[in-house]
Amino acid sequence: MQLQQSISLKPYNTFGINVLAKYFASFFTVDELSELLNNSKLQTTNSQLILGGGSNILFTQNFDGFVLKNELKGISLVDEDADYYYVKAAAGEVWHQFVQHCIANNYAGIENLSLIPGNVGASPMQNIGAYGVEIKDIFFCLEAYHIHEQKTITFSLQDCQFGYRESVFKQQYKGQFVILSVTYKLRKRPVFNTSYGAINAELEKMGVTDLSIQAISQAIIHIRSSKLPDPKKIGNAGSFFKNPQISKFRLHVMKEDCEKILAYPVDDKHYKIAAGWLIEQCGWKGFRKGDAGCNPLQALVLVNYGNATGKEIFDLSTEIIQSVEAKFGITLEREVNIM
């Protein structure tokens, strides 16, 4: 554990934005976290950011405070019953590596979340989801460290108040806790979820005749790789916007003007519209201004082609929001956290 000053955060965010942190340190144990939180310099700055994989954040300016990098590691099978495995992962574990560990051990239910960037700790905070599965569907509990009370508290599924890319940690408890570990409830007998997107088409293309969690994971890896740029090559944070929800009636009205609108049912009265489709209809797909741009393969992804600033990417997102609102009367909401 080493406290550093004026450290570039470029290596620590997948957008590759070059901003400075006033103070920076990594912690590998809860004791080290406690020691850092009691550091006199942190007490004077009164501002801290817990950083995981940096995959869902856009820095628009230097961070005038304390950045603490979560490096907690470890994966273990903590319990099982007739139907489920209970698998605990430390918050600093890389998400995709954890998913692959589960698949290798035939822990089912997590395979649709393959290749999502980031670390385990962000999964409940964002209630990450893809291809018809969200964290809330496989979540059992988590341990989090209260920054001010300096004690570990366990949160159940109900405690987390999961919503669409939302949780209690992004709302009333924002900035109050450090997620230490997450325990997932994974099936012994898989229930395959292939109805979303192009999964079935990809499985057919792969020649899969015997469906398995391994095959579904590989299909999703193929699909995501074909649409989403590798953050190691082109800076991005995956999906930049949430898919907006509208009423069934409003969708019916919109289809009078455009039958090909991409929408998915939420319940009997509501649908989610693909934000990427809305953005593409407004002409942004493949747009580039300087080094800030909109991915040519998936319009939902904003990218940094090299030296874009966070403000340039943020300004581009604002223009996109305004154009979608002007054309469709729908206000897009950013999924990425803006700092």
Cα–Cα distances (Å) from 78 to 10, 154, 195, 319, in that order, read: 36, 15, 31, 48
Residue 215 burial (CB < 10 Å; 0-12/13-18/19+)?
Answer: buried
Count of residues making up the chain = 339
Please state whether beta strands 292-294 and 288-289 pair in parallel, antiparallel, or not at all (unpaired): antiparallel
Catalytic positions, please? Answer: 165, 239, 335
Nearest Cα to Cα of residue 83 among 211, 184, 186? 186
Q: What percentage of the chain's residues is helix, strand, coil (to nearest 5)?
A: 30, 30, 40
Listed in sequence order, the residues at least 6 apart from 178 whose beta carbon sits closer than 8 Å to its beta carbon are 33, 50, 68, 70, 91, 144, 145, 147
Nearest Cα to Cα of residue 251 among 235, 262, 241? 262
For the record, the structure tokens of 335 come out as 């999924």
Q: What distance in Å separates the CA atoms of residue 108 and residue 112, rounded to the nearest whole number?
A: 10
